Amino acid sequence: MASFSFYYRSKKDSSKISIRLIHKNIDYTLRSPYVSNREYWIYKTTKNGKPVNKHKKVEDLKGFSNIKEHKAILLSFKDKLERQLIQDLNSGTAITKDWFKQAIIKYSNVIEDKGAILNEEIKNNKKRELELEIKRKNLLLNAVKEIQVKYKSNKDELKKFVTTFNWLSDFQNEKSIIIKTKDFNQKFVDIFKNWATIDKQYKLSTVVGHLKRIKRAVEYSYSNDADDVIIVHKQLPYIKFTNAKERELIKDKIVVTLDFDELDLIDNLDFKNNEELREVQKSILIGCETGLRFSDFNQLIDKNLKKSIDNIEYWEFKTSKTNKWVQITKTERLQYFFDKYGLPKNSYTENEDVVLNRNLKKVCRLAKIEKMTEGDLSKSIIINDEEQRRDVRGFYSKYKLITTRTFRRSFATNYYGKIDKELIMQVTGHTTEKMLKEYIDVHDDKNIGRGFKSMAEFHRNRKQPKLRKVE
């Protein structure tokens, strides 16, 4: 029967222990990588009245915890060798000295030289770094951070994702949790929504916007995961951000626009001695006439100017935010604004954005656009004993509610029902009339009034006397 035995063969106090394999005509002894102490194995006794040294078996090792631990390691090592020997004998494998050497290497967990130790440390460090990188990639905050690269050239969208990142960071800090991409499911959406709307008193529409951006970030990270290590929840494609009741609440929005009469009041203002307000005046008039974001005003140049088959001039270009093609007709009204004011400024820093919105209100106040209007105005309120700014619904002088968002909505509202809706949708980017109507807050009851006015105007024009042609 095969047997493995350990032997301490050195005269040094500490050395590697040898292991011996005996089986039938096989008798091999090799050094193992395990270092042991001579005192564990060698003890003195007498034979025929003379002092001699005796060698213990591994099973006889006794002593403090370090000896017991050493004994357990060697017994485990021996057991693995015996199992491998039996398996290979049964399969007909030749039991050679090389087999014994390879078995020792395979089942020992000791690194023999400094080079091997260093390589093992490097290997372990790389493994830890890889594990940390995988953990980092699976963090929800990291996903929101990663997608910001996509919008680096789109200042408005980038700003939204930075705010989303800050919201999510605040949520994690307050809840004392770390959220992973796989945690983004329906339960998380509901908890986050309650926190933002109830605890923080944000508008539901704003909260849903941030949740949708988080989902986009998770999808972006997952689809660009070349290492295939990011885990997402199986609910991801089916998450619902609102229920039927909440959707009705979100629809209860107020769209504040400037009509043509109010735009005429702004056009009549004289800011020749105030270049800053004149720039704002230009932005309002051209923005409300074209429906463009002010970041695209610089596209209204000769390079993008084309002519139709009817010899009508128009600009054609891709928008900076959505990268979609738009066509802006060079109307007489638009030409009038260009002749009078020139092209407005189109690039603002983050601080200048704040100044621009403040000056929009100033220009509209000087134009006496003061009708009391329902809307949402940012005000300071107390939340959890802290002063914070939130949108508060109420009735305010209309000029206080004007922002850069007013431009596009004014264009769509003023021209809806007057020109082909497809032309409006091409500028606003909406794919259906339903989406457009929700954007400008046009409902069926308002269409009744529009229809009544259009039909009355049609019949008044029809009954006007026609001029007789002079022979």
| In a domain? residue 71 | yes
Helix (H, G, I), strand (E, B) or coil at 32: strand
pLDDT at position 117 over 60: no
| 207/197 Cα distance (integer angstroms) | 7
Same domain for 246 and 266, yes or no, is no
193, 225, 251 - which closes a domain: 251
Q: Is the pLDDT of residue 129 over 70?
A: yes
CATH number at residue 194: 1.10.150
The answer to whether position 50 is within a domain reads yes
244 and 151 in a common domain: yes
- The mean of the pLDDT values for the chain is 85
Residue 30 CA to residue 17 CA, distance in Å, equals 9
DSSP string for residues in 277-295: HHHHHHHHHHHHHH---GG
Q: Where a domain ends, among 92, 110, 128?
A: 110
Q: In terms of domains, do 300 and 435 share one? A: yes
What does the pLDDT look like over 324-335, one tens digit per residue? 888 888 889 989
**pLDDT reported for residue 166:** 96
Looking at the structure of the chain, the number of domains it has is: 3
pLDDT reported for residue 449: 47
Half-sphere exposure of 299 (CA within 13 A, CB side): 23
Domain co-membership, 55 together with 193:
no
Give me the CATH number covering residue 323: 1.10.443
Residue 187 vs residues 139, 161, 205, 269, 463: alpha-carbon distances, Å? 17, 22, 19, 54, 64
Does residue 348 fall inside a structural domain?
Answer: yes
Would you state the structure tokens that stand for residue 418, as one six-digit string?
A: 């007057």
Q: Let me know whether 230 and 290 are in one domain.
A: no
Q: Is residue 452 part of a domain?
A: no
CB atoms within 10 A of CB 327: 14
Residue 177 lies in a domain: yes
Model confidence pLDDT, tens digit, residues 342-394 = 877 666 555 556 788 889 999 999 999 999 999 888 888 888 777 888 888 89
Q: Give yes or no: residues 296 and 427 share one domain.
A: yes
Query: SS3 for 357?
Result: helix
Using the Cα atoms of residue 165, residue 170, residue 175 and residue 177 in order, give the sign of their dihedral.
positive
**Per-residue pLDDT at 343:** 77
Question: Do residues 231 and 320 share a domain?
Answer: no
| H helix or E strand, kind and range, residue 29 | strand 26-37
Q: What is the tens place of the pLDDT at every residue in 245-303?
A: 887 776 667 888 999 999 999 999 999 889 889 989 999 999 999 888 877 888 888 89
265-287 burial: b if 16+ Cβ within 10 Å, else e: ebbeeebeeeeebbbbbbbbbbb
Give dist(CA 394, CA 398) in Å, integer.
11
Task: State residue 127's pLDDT score.
Answer: 80
Q: Is the pLDDT of residue 112 over 60?
A: no
Does some domain include residue 459?
Answer: no
> What is the spatial distance between Cα 360 and Cα 366, in angstroms, rounded to a whole number?
10
Question: Based on the domain organization, do 49 and 81 belong to the same domain?
Answer: yes
pLDDT tens string 396-449: 999 999 988 899 889 888 888 887 777 777 777 777 777 777 767 665 444 444
pLDDT at 467: 47
**Do the domain assignments include residue 469?**
no
Q: Which of 17-31, 111-125, 291-305, 372-386 has the lowest mean pLDDT?
A: 111-125
CA 70 to chain centre: 52
Residues 157 and 174 in one domain: yes
CA atoms of 315 and 294, how far apart (whole Å): 15
Residues 266 and 390 occupy one common structural domain? yes
Q: Is residue 122 part of a domain?
A: no
- Encode pLDDT of 52-72 as tens digits: 889 999 999 988 888 888 899
pLDDT classification of 454: cutoffs 50, 70, 90: low
Mean pLDDT of 195-210: 92
Q: pLDDT value at position 348?
A: 59
Name the domain boundary from 251, 280, 295. 251
Burial class of 219 by CB neighbour count within 10 A (0 to 12, 13 to 18, 19+): middle
Residues 293 and 233 in one domain: no
The pLDDT assigned to 147 comes to: 96
Does 1 score more than 80 pLDDT? no
Question: Do residues 178 and 286 both lie within one domain?
Answer: no
For residue 261, what are its two tokens?
């009469």
Residue-number span of the structural domain to which 335 is assigned: 260-439
- pTM given for the model: 0.57
Mean pLDDT of 205-212: 94
